[in-house]
Structure 1
Amino acid sequence: MKVIRWLILLLVVLIIAGVVTALIWLFTNEREQHIYEFSKDFKFGAASASYQIEGGWNADGKTPNIWDTLVHTRPELIKDQSNADVGADSYHFYKEDVKALKNAGLEVYRFSISWARIVNETNVINQAGIDYYNNLIDELIKEDIEPLVTMYHWDLPQYIEDLGGFQDPILVEHFKFYANVLFKSFGDRVKRWITFNEPWIFCIDGYSSATKPPLIESPGFGEYLCGHHMLQAHAAAYKLYNDDYREQQTGEIGICLFSNFFYPDSGVSPEVAEKTQQFQLGWFTHPIFSSEGNYPKIMIDEIKDKTVDQPLSRLPIMDDEMKNSLIGAADFLALNYYTSRLVAPMTEVHGERSWQSDVGVDFIIDEKWEKAKSWWLYNVPQGLHDLLKWIKAEYNNPTVLITENGYSDDGQLDDDDRINYIKAHLAAIHRAIHQDRCKVVAYTVWSIIDNFEWMEGFTEKFGIHAVNLTSPNKERIAKKSVSFFKDLTDQRQMIF
């Protein structure tokens, strides 16, 4: 009997210990969660890009762009050999996209306009293209959704590329003409414009490494010419708006830039990470958002030092007129952030000349970072917080809109990993706003629907809605993340 009593006593002790442990675990984990509140002035939305969702590649007067040319002439370069000739077909189903935005409770739609749908090779305006975007903008406004419009999201008209594209200064006048058509046609309703999306990517991949169209391989030269002419075109569009439209239309213009945040690898000097930040984001922010203008000094010096066998630096020189035209030539910074990298001094030469060899670093992944479906995408929310602090300190706290941030997977409707990624990055934004007083005013998730992901085709999914690509009606199917956004926008808070 004594043994039995001892066994019963031991069992009771174990049960009590288990209950106490469970209560401690629950209490501890509850204490680790926080409520993040967002004011009604902070806007939530979703983003897309014309080539990735519209389809209608040759419909109603649209001419080919460089992506049309790539997928039709070199389909083997696309991972699944797909194309976006039809895809989600937003050219015919744009109202379904607006419904998807509304169902998620979103307040802003960042979309891009297809240049090749608006203007042809003889600079004749395509009225069918104007009508399409008028209908989309009007549908958004009817549903109280703000249109945030990108003028250029990687789909250069092929006829302009044939003239030299971003490597030729002729681009500037063509873009100014196109921008004028957009301001005149849509500026009465569009109050936020973005000139260019992610020049760091389209200049390096398109005109240096030849890994995206127009497949120009000119490392160490092409990317810098592309960036230089892009900046001139941006300044021309900004001046045009100031001179002819701002007073009447009362809108704003910014530029959309991609950036990682860079941390020094173990034992590496912080100066190496800072140099990399200047070469990536500073390449385009310093001419516009700094008080002195021009390219970052470290970028000018490093490239000049590595061009000793040439009479001129491979980085084009800004004259005073160009510098002055760019200083202050943005009302906000549209920032695309997905992930971060560790950096260390380069251990081997990556080609004789290139952007990366000019920076002189290798990029390293921290093994603790969670990986998404995309080979390049790791979940590093602290990087967004640190990047926002860097921008504030470097450029006197400009207004920032987070215009892309998202998570790729295989397309599952129960997309909990995506929700956790978004929550972590929204928490980072919240800390940047409330702890560091960074002026971040909006967040548009990438993307409103699953779409053609460039060289990856349809093999990875970023949307908060799936699309039934095999159906003639291309139904938009809500994922679990839609409910997350609906609750967030209804309650203006989240728990994470």
Structure 2
Amino acid sequence: MQNLDNHDWHFLVGAALSVYQNAGGSNTNWSAFENKRTMFGQPFIHNNERCGEANGFWNSYEADIQRAKSLNSNCLRLSIEWGRIEPDQDKLDAAAIQRYHAIFDCIRRHGMEPVVTLYHFVHPLWFEHLGGFMQAANIQLFVAYAVAMYKEFGSKVKMWITFNEPGVQAFCGYIFGSFPPAHTLRPQLAGAHFCHMLRAHTAAYDAIKSCAGGRDVRVGIVHNYMNYAPITPAWSGHVAWACGWLNSFWGTQQILEYFSSGRFHFPVPCSSPVRHQETSKPGLDFIGINYYGRVLIDWKFKTVCHPGETMTDMPFPLYGKGLYEGIADLSKLGVPIYVTESGVADNHGRTDRSLRQKYLDTYLPEVERAVRDGLDCRGFMYWTLIDNFEWVNGFSIKFGLWEWNPGSQERIPLPQVQALAKIFAGWPAKMRQIRQASATS
């Protein structure tokens, strides 16, 4: 058992959101992608939808922050949208900066800490035209943006996330083809993109830490933890082989290896792997885990679930134990862990969103179990506050605690708002007690 310092140990509870998914934006890689079509002439986005202003968070942030606080939250995770801040290269938008100041002030006024993501899948169109993260030379452009945001907001934000799910962006953008630039089966490009994002994290971490006051803030990164497996050993041949490659592409091993040793190794079938070696161990103050479930695949490569399990709308089954497994796996890095996203897609055929409660009953105890077992998990952030734009799924996938439908700005609380608020009210103190007990056992 580690020697646990409980004096300054706090457990964060709250909701998570990305500003683009709740407020949209123009002249970005995603706003351009929403207008493109596949090689077969079909829209990439479900039902040919556009994000637009989504649920209008940019203008209704005060009321939505009050909703977040009503959950008994002590934090709110959200993103700074680079495209709003720097719509043209080297030209910061003063109005957007002031709006973010107002948002952060509002969060803090409600007694919550802002947990801020610098990059949540979206970047300015000018950065895309320069090659984005496919070009190693562009890493410094991200670093300059990160430093500018720290200098502007560092007095109000003490917990910074450089990237949300770099492995997902690489996989979806260059292997699966569901994110811009929508390439398929290009693992060499996926590896390069993933590698450059991790290098950008390291460069931004070092740059922020070198700024005045930089040693007093925490800088981390968020990884989406997902495992693929055959539904039955009878199909373990070609299905197991495919699941093995999917797991390697998803990036957990790359995250563990890179932040443990500075070594990056991304396998490429029938070709040389993408490699990189840092000169020193990359900086990391904490690791965020996004976890929703596991993916079980049958012999037709269709996602399925075991008898008795519950399929979500993503589609993959609820599997609470995987959250504990992910926390345990990422704990190998030896830094604090925060569950920065977890929730359930629940709408189709269930107008009461009944899976929400089953999710709470099976996932949240796994967080307690992790803390009880001495794993340094320090927070849980529910995805998401309000129904939003879920990337290629458009508005068809519903994760929100508050229901919202396009065309209406009305927010309707689901029954689980009260259930989660009750849990959050006692969780920070309860988790501290559990941690103290585990430290002395």
Output aligned runs, 1:210-359, within 5 Å: 210-217=177-184, 219-247=186-214, 250-261=216-227, 266=233, 279-290=249-260, 292-295=261-264, 303=268, 306-307=270-271, 313=272, 315-319=273-277, 322-324=278-280, 327-342=281-296
Which of the residues 55, 58, 64 maps onto 1:88? 55
TM-fit CA distance, 1:247: 4.6
Verify the 8 A CA contact 2:286 2:335 in the aligned structure 1.
yes
* SS, match of residue 427 in structure 1: helix
Question: Counterparts of 1:451 and 1:458 in 2: how far apart (Å)?
Answer: 6
Question: Counterparts of 2:190 and 2:292 in 1: how far apart (Å)?
Answer: 22
* SS, match of residue 163 in structure 2: strand
Verify the 8 A CA contact 1:79 1:459 in the aligned structure 2.
yes
Question: Counterparts of 2:81 and 2:116 in 1: how far apart (Å)?
Answer: 11
Question: Counterparts of 2:48 and 2:249 in 1: how far apart (Å)?
Answer: 33
* SS, match of residue 402 in structure 1: strand
Name the counterpart of 1:7. none
Which of the residues 332, 355, 373 maps onto 2:313? 373
Output aligned runs, 1:73-472, within 5 Å: 73-74=36-37, 76-217=43-184, 219-247=186-214, 250-261=216-227, 266=233, 279-290=249-260, 292-295=261-264, 303=268, 306-307=270-271, 313=272, 315-319=273-277, 322-324=278-280, 327-342=281-296, 365-368=304-307, 369-375=309-315, 377-392=316-331, 394-395=332-333, 397-410=334-347, 414-434=352-372, 436-471=373-408
Pair 1:403–1:282, CA change in 2 (3 A): same
TM-fit CA distance, 1:217: 4.1
Question: Counterparts of 1:373 and 1:153 in 2: how far apart (Å)?
Answer: 22
Range 142-151 or range 333-342, more displaced: 333-342
Determine whether 1:489 maps to 2:427.
no
Pair 1:216–1:275, CA change in 2 (3 A): closer
* SS, match of residue 372 in structure 1: coil
Deviation by residue 1:403-435 (Cα, 9 ceiling, x = unmatched): 11111122877433112212311111111110x
* SS, match of residue 400 in structure 2: coil
Aligned amino acid, residue 183 of structure 1: Y
Name the counterpart of 1:47. 16
Range 165-174 or range 272-281, more displaced: 272-281
Gaps of 5+ in 1: 1-38, 59-63, 308-312, 349-361
Range 410-419 or range 155-164, more displaced: 410-419
RMSD between superposed Cα atoms in Å: 2.8
- TM-score, structure 2 normalization: 0.85
* SS, match of residue 205 in structure 2: helix
Question: Counterparts of 1:423 and 1:403 in 2: how far apart (Å)?
Answer: 18
Gaps of 5+ in 2: 1-7, 432-441
Question: Counterparts of 2:137 and 2:63 in 1: how far apart (Å)?
Answer: 38
TM-fit CA distance, 1:204: 1.7
Question: Counterparts of 1:422 and 1:281 in 2: how far apart (Å)?
Answer: 27
Name the counterpart of 1:65. 28
Question: Counterparts of 2:105 and 2:421 in 1: how far apart (Å)?
Answer: 23
Return the index of the structure with the highest Cα Rg.
1
Question: Counterparts of 1:338 and 1:247 in 2: how far apart (Å)?
Answer: 32
Aligned amino acid, residue 490 of structure 1: A
Deviation by residue 1:354-393 (Cα, 9 ceiling, x = unmatched): xxxxxxxx78644233101222x3101111112222233x
Aligned amino acid, residue 485 of structure 1: L
Pair 1:113–1:284, CA change in 2 (3 A): farther
TM-fit CA distance, 1:235: 0.9
Verify the 8 A CA contact 2:13 2:380 in the aligned structure 1.
yes
Question: Counterparts of 1:219 and 1:278 in 2: how far apart (Å)?
Answer: 14
Deviation by residue 1:259-279 (Cα, 9 ceiling, x = unmatched): 11456753769x988887565
